[in-house]
Chain A
């Protein structure tokens, strides 16, 4: 029998039993679409996190107070520290030749008020360098200026949302803000796109680091961001930073220095693994669809017993009967997979429209693998019913009406 005839005959059988064909296509399509959509979600999450980290700036070292014994594990964000990481420590790092910029960061929450309006806000105390290191854009005015980082000049920059809440439609530049028991002059408003690591930049207040330390009545920095001159110097700069702090801290290794790169690759690994896991779970639905195909094909063989008997009487060998039914199963799986792919891509496009900030994308391997697995299950689960048809006794098969 010719391949084209085989295909045409299988198609005519699929058209002849519309309801069961539609149901099987639906099962296959849902399974493939599930793989496509779930992996796109995983991939979207991965890209989102990577983008967020990348927006932190390039060639970045992050110095955290406290020490982590493990390498590559998550940094101890809330660990107890034997010794404070101070502003003097941070400024000393400027002497290292591989370092281009240093931005100390202190962090806290205080009440912000203008006249009768007030709210709680996150305060970041830092220096002018923070703007370059974090690539921050201004909507209005300028960033804080700290020619002498140790001087607590009373100026501040605020996020858009706080600006709106504090001043409404009234111009606020040059006005005074009250932060707890201190006052500072507003010199700029952050652009609201500035958004990173889940911290909403339009809800923060940025002040000079010395001002923040007196405000929080603390010596301790939250972390120090160090921008290295080039990518190649990152490892050397990291060693130099650790050494320098050790000397300053009486020989104690009590800071953790993480490179942007290693954080990035760790998250990349974790989220990739998650995507694979999700794809594996979705693949189970493909196998379930395959079992369904097998069941329905078995019913089809029973329904078409007389037809199988006739085909045998007309001179089909058992091999040919097997091929006829397997072709049907493959066609079902292939068509179902195609519909599923289309539906999956459509769903991902809709998701992208709904959440434009998350870069959902279907990984090519997932699309290819789901189609291959669908076809493989088609063959595998089509084979058993096909063999049953091939073994039918034509005399018995034809005796039934």
Chain B
């Protein structure tokens, strides 16, 4: 479902050109669970951003579900993100003034989905995450683990094909981290493609496929 061909992304840092990604060829099938590991600055976050259409490659081609999304305009890219991609961030990125339920409903609101349907879907996902009594709480009234679970609920509420998680446990204690990973894996088991960027080998070890990136290039790509 994801095809990257000769993908490259360069940044200008000062007057020096840095190759954040160089010549990446990658093929990902629907429903795969992949961990992306590598030292910091190796380009793993850049890869995730390019996959999520937040960033554009300078070279190469990107096919998502058979569609060439390499050079879409901003509005089209926004539509693909809305419909096909769910993001989970290290720092949760919940809107502090909105309740948990409203944060989860945010993508549906941006997509213009009917408020009645929004409420139903939010309630369903809150129930399935055992957060039904937390719907009205604001983010600062939730624990870290709860916040990340709300963020995951927001990522899957539009029923995307891919979940992209960038260090999803980086800001959590071990127990909450385990809960969050189990939740992500549960959505993977339901058929969603899951990519987790991490530098924690314990977390990386849980996936079936491991990709290791060093200096912007894929160093190893193996199944376990």
Contact = CB atoms under 8 A, between A and B. Distances in A.
B52 interface: yes
A13 B102 CA distance: 13
A13 B52 CA distance: 27
Interface in B79-122: 79, 81-83, 87, 89, 91, 93, 95-98, 102, 106-107, 109-112, 115
Contacts of A395: 49, 54-55
Interface string A3-22: 01100010011011000000
A128 B74 CA distance: 88
Contact of B81 (A12, A313, A398): A313
A149 interface: no
A192 interface: no
B33 to A, nearest CB: 21
Contacts of A309: 93
A2 B89 CA distance: 27
B112 A314 contact: no
Contact of A315 (B89, B93, B102, B107): B107
B142 interface: no
Contacts of A314: 81-82, 87, 106-107, 110, 154
Interface in B109-138: 109-112, 115
A317 B79 contact: yes
- Provide the main secondary structure of the chain A interface: helix
Most chain B CB inside 10 Å of its own CB: which residue of A1, A315, A318, A320: A315
B189 interface: no
Interface string B57-74: 000000000000000001
B109 A1 contact: yes
Contacts of A13: 97
B190 interface: no
A319 B110 contact: no
A315 B97 contact: no
A309 B54 CA distance: 9
B75 A318 contact: yes
Contacts of A398: 54, 89, 93
Contact of B54 (A4, A9, A394): A394
Contacts of B110: 1, 311, 314-316, 320
A133 interface: no
A307 interface: yes
A310 interface: yes
Interface residues of B, number: 29
A362 B75 CA distance: 47
A315 B95 contact: no
Given A13-B97, A317-B75, A394-B54, A5 B81 contact: no
A181 to B, nearest CB: 88
B167 to A, nearest CB: 12
B18 interface: no
Interface string A289-314: 00000000000000000110111111
A170 interface: no
Nearest to A321: B78
Nearest to A309: B93
Contact of A317 (B49, B78, B95, B107): B78
A401 interface: yes
B100 to A, nearest CB: 14
Contacts of A312: 54, 78, 81
A345 B87 CA distance: 51
A315 B49 contact: no
Contact of B97 (A5, A16, A320): A16
Most chain B CB inside 10 Å of its own CB: which residue of A4, A307, A394: A394
Given A4-B115, A311-B110, 5 more contacts: A1-B111, A12-B98, A314-B87, A314-B154, A317-B75
11 contacts: A2-B112, A307-B95, A313-B87, A314-B107, A315-B83, A316-B78, A316-B110, A317-B79, A318-B75, A318-B78, A394-B54
Closest 9 CB pairs of A and B: A315-B82, A16-B97, A317-B78, A317-B75, A315-B81, A310-B93, A314-B107, A394-B54, A313-B87
